[in-house]
Amino acid sequence: MNGRPGRGTPASQGFRMPAEWEPHAATWIAWPHEARDWPGKLPAIRRVYADIVRVLSESERVEIVVQDAAQERAVVRALRSRGADLPRVRTHRWSTDRSWVRDSGPTFLRRPPRGNAPGAVGIVRWKFNAWARYDNYQRDRRLPPRIARALGFPIWKATAAGRWVVLEGGAFDVDGQGLLMTTEECLLSDVQVRNPGLGRSAIERVFRDYLGATSVVWLNRGIEGDDTHGHVDDAARFVAPATVLAVLPDDPASVDRSALEENLERLRAFRTAGGRRLRIRTLPAPHPVTFRGQHLPASYANFYIANHAVLVPTFHDPHDAEALGVLARAFPDREVVGIPSRDLVWGLGTLHCLTQPQPLP
């Protein structure tokens, strides 16, 4: 297929977005290079990225987008020094603006085998506008078609009402069985700057046609400090079919407590199309993390599920151990690995924001 446009919609061709815990062929990341995202911390951030690649490369291929040949050489040196499995690493010299591949990169889809036909993988391309906060995003916007061409996957440009849909991967989470979770703050409120005039039913149709979602769980909002207007991946995540981990701070004075309590109420009230309730567990929140007076979006919900591990951001906080324990119970078949992220979150994102899973066919 060589990166050609897909026919119809992905759902009409049998494709859906798999859950993150389903088997990966690879994880995609982009090596960090925008120093303004981590003022004075870029060397430390690159060491964190190298440790992330080391953990990922133990069980799956890691595809790394680099700026040029010089950065490619530096990446190989960094990975070798941190003990990454280099045979499981591939690099791609494609210049980007930033490193948040969850949002600028493609959303991968999977079509299971049908009869004698093998399984297949496809790509959805959203319109990326750097969260309406930055002017430099044109190189990031070229990333999905480049990946589609490199892998030979069909690609669909998501549209609604004749317009290319503005969306990012951190705005939604799926359980792989038809449930999708998002926030009203991100997609329906006046503060977001994505798709004016595109209402709830139209957005739900986009999720159905392009991701295979049959039911949408609408939460209230994300957390303070998140510059994406309420991405769900800092507030609540699926950890199994119809099973959610929802962030709930134990401090009644937390700036997030009221909004996250409302999210929890909505989760408890939700029923699937078949009338089933969700299974809900809570995840603690770290104490506030600030940088130069700015409240940062530190959240344990920004974990990443790899083939044999769950990578969890930690913040040198008393709640770290509790969060790791909650995730260990949610994923007893995987090693839970804490990744120190107090510096990483200065860039206003952590592990889920910087990764993009490519499923097996």
Q: Are 259 and 232 in contact (CB under 8 A)?
A: no
**Pick from 9, 90, 56: which is nearest to 309 by CA?**
56
**Pick from 171, 248, 257, 255: which is nearest to 210 by CA?**
171
Positive/negative CA dihedral, 145, 71, 89, 309: negative
Backbone φ, ψ for residue 115 (5° rounding): 60, -125
97: alpha, beta or left? (left if phi > 0; alpha if psi -120 to 50): alpha
Distance CA 302, CA 228 (A): 14
What burial class does residue 219 get, using C-beta atoms within 10 Å of its C-beta: 0-12 exposed, 13-18 middle, 19+ buried?
Answer: buried
Structure tokens at 357: 């899973």
Residue 353 appears among annotated catalytic residues: yes
Contacts of 120 (CB under 8 A, 6+ apart): 15, 110, 111, 154, 361
Q: How is 82-124 classified by DSSP, letter by letter?
A: HT--GGGEEEEE---S-S-HHHHSPEEEEE--BTTBPPEEEEE
Q: Among residues 353, 354, 356, 357, which one is catalytic?
A: 353
The catalytic site residues sit at: 353
